[in-house]
Amino acid sequence: MYDVIIIGAGPAGMTAAVYSARQKLKALVLTDNIGGQTLWSTEIRNYTGYNLISGFELTEKFKKHVKEYGVELKEDEPALDLEIDRDGFIVRTKKEKYQTKTIIVCTGKKSRMLGVGGEERFRGKGVTYCSTCDGPLFAGKDVAIIGGGNSALNAALQMIEIASKVYLIDANAELGGEAVAREKVKTSPKVEHIGSAIVERINGSEFVASISITAGGKKRKIDVQGIIIEIGYTPSVEFAQILAKNKDNEIIINNKSETNIPGIFAAGDCTDVFGKQIIVAAGEGAKASIAAFKYVSMKR
């Protein structure tokens, strides 16, 4: 019987693990991988204390910190199901069933992928899913933004300030999103909106060099150095059927990291918390662990 099982080992889960160990909770981390979305970020410039650090380096530092506290960590062991038990909860994986008094869900989110040739190969080499994080890498360059909703419009507004030319490539004929942002984007001389477009593939040798699309029935190859894919995110919460979610499928939590099930807490990008960033996820992981400690202490 564990005091706490932390599901996920991104910034939220790793911070929850450190806090749980320091509070002397018997903790287990079950995760698919170590690092989560942080691994996708080539340059992190907004994690306090580090002017510049790669996602890989920051993940190594998180891992070292957790290991120094001797927290039990099982990689490649994703949670498949959560059950309420007489004494707490059961977390099922493909290998085992684990019993615990509390759970902290920190499973983050994954970007929706386009699913075209070249996308995987050029991820981090010109293909990104986060304009806030990686947009500055394309200063003075030509970029394509894929999508036509609010995320794509926000990315376009950011890139208008940074890039030399912005192609906004959208499956729908007309742009969606909020009217004010849409008008700003549409009237910018830097933006070319290409509606009714299907992305065929992403091309290049070492880095992205162009994107092939079909628009209005015509094939077109556009030279770009950056491709920002903004077609939405999906929280990784398939296993957490018993937890209440909002319309975006994010786990609903209150300001004490509590979910609808007493004893199950959640933190980071898989929740409805505002501000999907590393430092926010880490802070939320800390909060959830403090809340779990309080819950376990009350039950003793």
Give min distance, CB of 290 to ligand FAD, in A: 17
Q: How far apart are CA 81 and CA 59, in angstroms?
A: 26
Please answer whether residues 71 and 231 qualify as being in contact, where contact means their C-beta atoms are separated by less than 8 angstroms: no
Stretch that binds ligand FAD, among 28-36, 113-121, 166-174, 202-210 (CB under 6 A): 28-36
The site map against ligand FAD for 187-226 (x = CB under 6 A) is ----------------------------------------
- The C-alpha atoms of residue 59 and residue 296 are separated, in whole angstroms, by 29
The reply on whether position 33 binds ligand FAD by CB under 6 A is: yes
Q: Which helix (H) or strand (E) element contains residue 291?
A: helix 278-299
Smallest separation, CB 9 to ligand FAD (Å): 4
The H helix count followed by the E strand count for the chain is 6, 17
Q: Which of 20, 102, 128, 210 binds ligand FAD (CB under 6 A)?
A: 128
Q: Does the footprint of ligand FAD cover residue 30 (CB under 6 A)?
A: yes
The yes or no reply on residue 46 touching ligand FAD (CB under 6 A) is: yes
- Residue 14 Cβ vs ligand FAD, minimum distance, rounded to whole Å: 7
Binding-site string for ligand FAD from residue 101 to residue 120, where x marks contact by CB under 6 A and - marks none: -----xxxx-x---------
User: Least separation, in Å, of the C-beta of 169 and ligand FAD?
Assistant: 19
Residue with Cβ nearer ligand FAD (182 or 202):
202
Query: Judged by CB under 6 A, which of 41, 102, 151, 154 binds ligand FAD?
Result: 41
Cα angle for residues 78, 79, 85 (degrees, 5° grid): 160
| Assigned token pair, 103 | 């759970």
DSSP string, 142-175: EEEEE--SHHHHHHHHHHHHH-SEEEEE-SSSS-
Residues in the chain: 300
Q: How far apart, in whole angstroms, are the C-alpha atoms of residue 172 and residue 149?
A: 10
CB neighbour class for 87 (10 Å; exposed up to 12, middle 13-18, buried from 19): exposed
**C-alpha gyration radius of the chain:** 21
How many residues touch ligand FAD under the rule CB under 6 A: the total is 38
Q: Using the rule CB under 6 A, which residue among 4, 20, 31, 243 binds ligand FAD?
A: 31
| Amino acid, single-letter form, for residue 190 | K
Q: Looking at 24-32, 172-180, 187-195, 207-215, which segment touches ligand FAD (CB under 6 A)?
A: 24-32
Binding site for ligand FAD (CB under 6 A): 7-13, 30-33, 36-38, 40-41, 44, 46, 78-79, 106-109, 111, 128-130, 133, 236, 239, 268-269, 276-279, 281
